């Protein structure tokens, strides 16, 4: 029995296959033709059942008749599976930020999600890393606190002009990087506080790979934050687990 979960995100498509007790992870850029990427991933592994999730789930479902679940339900299952003590999930992806509170039994108690604006998401980080000449992989490692620099605007367009102003004043890009991370955390925290924070707190989504974001969240929440080694795979993994349930 092969079960799979596919998470069609705004920046990456994540694919998890569960095959006789083993799990396999794939990640590819979503690009301009996500359907082809999905078809290739699914076609190569030939699963018995696939569950789709993520921003592009309906696009895929309309083409292929796959059943769907939301990424909120999916990430809750995935995070709980790898970190069973998890009660609060902070999920920051390419264009969405979510906070999910779980009951003791792992079902969802409450959730919050950003509305239309991509402020406080991975897309914002990417744009800002680019402006400062960092790669997204090194961005979170190159932040330096210590000098009081603040980015006030959360709009990507306005924040970029603030960044340019700071560069023009001769401020080191490492300080600006820290300020940008700090402003994102300020955007994420109200969502988290609205659902309520119960430990353990798990940070998921592509942005959980960013070391600085992780540390700042932990510091400002005054909580230990757990991160799975592949934090962006957990929604796809959760979907695969649900697919496995339904084939049982």
Partner 1 sequence: MSENYREMWASLGLNLDAHQGLLAVLSDAYQNIYLSQKNRPAGMGYFDFVISEVHGLRIVELLDAKKEGKAIIGTFCVYVPEELILAVDGVSIGLCAGADVGTEEAEKYIPRNTCALIKGFMGFKLAGLCPYIESADLIIGETTCDGKKKAYEIFDEITNKVYVMELPNKKGEDGRRLWTNEIRKLAVKLSQVTGRQITIDKLRGAAVIVNAKRRALKRLSALRAHDPVPISGLDALLINQVSFYDDPVRFTTKLNELCDELDRRVREGSGVVPKGTTRLLVSGSPMAIPNWKLHSIIEGSGGIVVGEEACVGERNFGALLDEGFSTVDDALQKMADRSMGINCACFTPNDDRLTDIKNLSSTLRAQGVVHYALQFCTPYMIEAYRAKTAVEAAGLPFLRIETDYSLEDAGQLKTRVEAFIEMIRDGIVS
Per CB under 8 A, residues contacting partner 1 are 55, 58, 69-73, 96, 105, 107-108, 110-111, 113-116
Least distance (Å) from partner 1 to the CB of residue 142? 31
For partner 1, the closer CB: 68 or 182: 68
- Of 199, 231, 232, nearest to 218 (Cα)? 199
Closest to partner 1 by CB, 116 vs 222, is: 116
Decide: 38 and 8 in contact? Cβ < 8 Å: yes
Q: How far is the CB of 104 from partner 1 (least distance, A)?
A: 11
Single out the residue of 43, 87, 50, 95 nearest to residue 69, CA to CA: 50
Choose between 55 and 134: whose C-beta lies nearer to partner 1: 55
Smallest distance, partner 1 to C-beta of residue 158, A: 15
**For partner 1, the closer CB: 106 or 218:** 106
Task: Please answer whether residues 149 and 170 qualify as being in contact, where contact means their C-beta atoms are separated by less than 8 angstroms.
Answer: no
Query: d(Cα 239, Cα 70) in Å, to the nearest integer?
Result: 9
d(CA 130, CA 220): 26
Least distance (Å) between residue 67 CB and partner 1: 12
Q: Write down the least CB distance from residue 72 to partner 1, Å.
A: 4
Burial 21-45 (b: 16+ CB within 10 A, else e): eeeeebbeebeeebeebbeebbeeb
We find the least distance from the C-beta atom of residue 113 to partner 1, in angstroms, to be 5
For tokens 């299952």, name the residue.
77
Q: How many CA atoms lie within 13 A of 12 on its CB side?
A: 20
Nearer to partner 1 among residue 113 and residue 171 (C-beta) = 113
Cβ contacts of 201 within 8 Å, gap of 6 or more = 86, 87, 88, 89, 90, 221, 223, 224, 225, 226
Give 35 or 113: the residue with its C-beta nearer to partner 1: 113
């Amino acid at each position: 029995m092969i079960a799979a979960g596919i998470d069609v995100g705004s920046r990456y498509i994540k694919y998890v296959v569960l095959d006789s007790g083993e799990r396999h992870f794939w990640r590819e850029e979503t690009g301009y033709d996500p359907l082809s990427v999905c078809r290739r991933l699914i076609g190569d592994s030939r699963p018995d059942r696939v569950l789709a999730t993520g921003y592009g789930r309906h696009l895929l479902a309309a083409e292929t008749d796959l059943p769907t679940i939301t990424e909120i339900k999916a990430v809750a299952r995935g995070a709980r599976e790898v970190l069973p003590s998890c009660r609060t999930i902070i999920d920051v992806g390419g264009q969405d930020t979510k906070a999910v509170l779980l009951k003791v039994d792992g079902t969802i108690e409450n959730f919050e999600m950003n509305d239309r604006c991509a402020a406080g998401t991975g897309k914002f980080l990417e744009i800002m890393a680019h402006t400062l000449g960092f790669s997204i992989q090194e961005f979170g490692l190159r932040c330096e606190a210590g000098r009081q620099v603040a980015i006030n605007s959360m709009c990507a367009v306005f924040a970029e002009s603030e960044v340019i102003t700071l560069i023009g004043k001769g401020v080191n890009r490492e300080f600006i990087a820290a300020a940008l991370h700090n402003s994102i955390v300020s955007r994420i925290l109200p969502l988290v506080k609205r659902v309520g924070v119960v430990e353990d707190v798990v940070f998921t989504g592509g942005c959980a790979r960013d070391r600085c974001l992780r540390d700042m969240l932990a510091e400002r929440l005054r909580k230990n934050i757990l991160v799975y080694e592949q934090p962006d795979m957990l929604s796809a993994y959760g979907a695969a687990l649900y697919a496995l349930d339904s084939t049982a």
